[in-house]
Amino acid sequence: MQENNTKCLIIGSGPAGYTAAIYASRANLSPILFEGHTPGGQLTTTSEVENFPGYPNGVTGPELMADLRKQAERFGADIRPGNIVEVDFSGKPLKVRTESGETLTAQTVIIATGATALYLGLPDEEKYKGLGVSACATCDGFFYRKRTVAVVGGGDTACEEAMYLSNLASKVYMIVRKPYLRASKVMQQRVAEKENIEILFNTNTVGLFGEEYLEGAHLVEHVGTADERRFDIAIDGFFLGIGHKPETDVFPGIERDEHGYVKTFGGTTATSVPGVFAAGDVADPRYRQAISAAGMGCRAALDAEAYILENS
């Protein structure tokens, strides 16, 4: 029979969750980890990862996550499939309910549910995901050196992605549905001054094309007006820069910022609820990298261990 109470419950997998499980296991916290809808997190949809330390020749996203999972299991982490659908952090012990109806209790909880990149909703995005479509320029921009790419969006995120890519790619299109950029004035100026960035205002993406890999995008300018014009651009990479949605809906009592990211306090991973910690993209709107998520997972496990010692 599975144990349903633990010193440390980890919600979510990916680099943050699995690393937290490694450290919590080694601290004899007997962690239980629920993997969520996507075991391994966003990296399982990434073909090549070349910037995670320890893999000099690169590694696929699924392989990296499988390695982290095995390492957590090696030290005794109880890794379970499924989701947490309800929490009660109003008292001690902390309580959660799974989608199968089970109730678990824990002295500490680590939230590592991640953040999901926002997509346009085009069927072609799924078709070419990992084959030219990406939601992370820092992760995948290296593969597009001296090639032509496009970034969708007109806010700070899109401008930052475009600026990063402009130092790698030969040409960067920015596809902006409005007649202006929503980014800060500083970011607007930087983009405008970059010679290899071309902004396509009043433009929507309606499709992508290519035989095996992405080869271009179908665009429409001034959609729904007398000036409507449809045209194609040839691109090798299509980057989404329209933001991320942190997976926090199941945690209504946790303090979050204006964009929904879990707030942490005092330079630690501690949240607004004692005994509850957050790690990875769910609490990181800035970096969103596998290595920084793993580091936060380590910190969260250490913070959970310290909390248990202080309150035992």
Euclidean distance between CA atoms 113 and 38, whole angstroms? 10
pLDDT surpasses 80 at 262? yes
| Nearest-angstrom CA–CA distance, 117 and 95 | 29
Q: Are 40 and 14 in contact (CB under 8 A)?
A: yes
In this structure, the number of other CB atoms found within 10 A of the CB of residue 310 comes to 7
Rounded to a whole number, what is the distance in angstroms from the first to the last CA of the chain?
27
pTM summary value: 0.79
pLDDT at 3 over 80: no
- What is the per-residue pLDDT across 71-115, written as a single tens digit (0 to 9) for each? 999 999 999 999 999 999 999 999 999 999 999 999 999 999 999
Residue 49 has pLDDT above 90, yes or no: no
- Active-site positions read 136, 139-140
pLDDT at residue 1 is higher than 60: no
Contact 26, 8 (CB under 8 A): no
Q: Is the peptide bond before 93 cis (omega within 30 degrees of 0)?
A: yes
- Within 10 angstroms of residue 177's Cβ, the number of other Cβ atoms is 18
Amino acid identity of residue 19, one-letter, is: T
Answer yes or no: is pLDDT of 254 > 90. yes
User: How far is residue 269 from each of residues 25, 130, 158, 298, measured CA to CA in Å?
Assistant: 18, 31, 28, 10
193-242 pLDDT, tens digit per residue, is 999 999 999 999 999 999 999 999 999 999 999 999 999 999 999 999 99
**Residue range 162-183: mean pLDDT, rounded:** 95
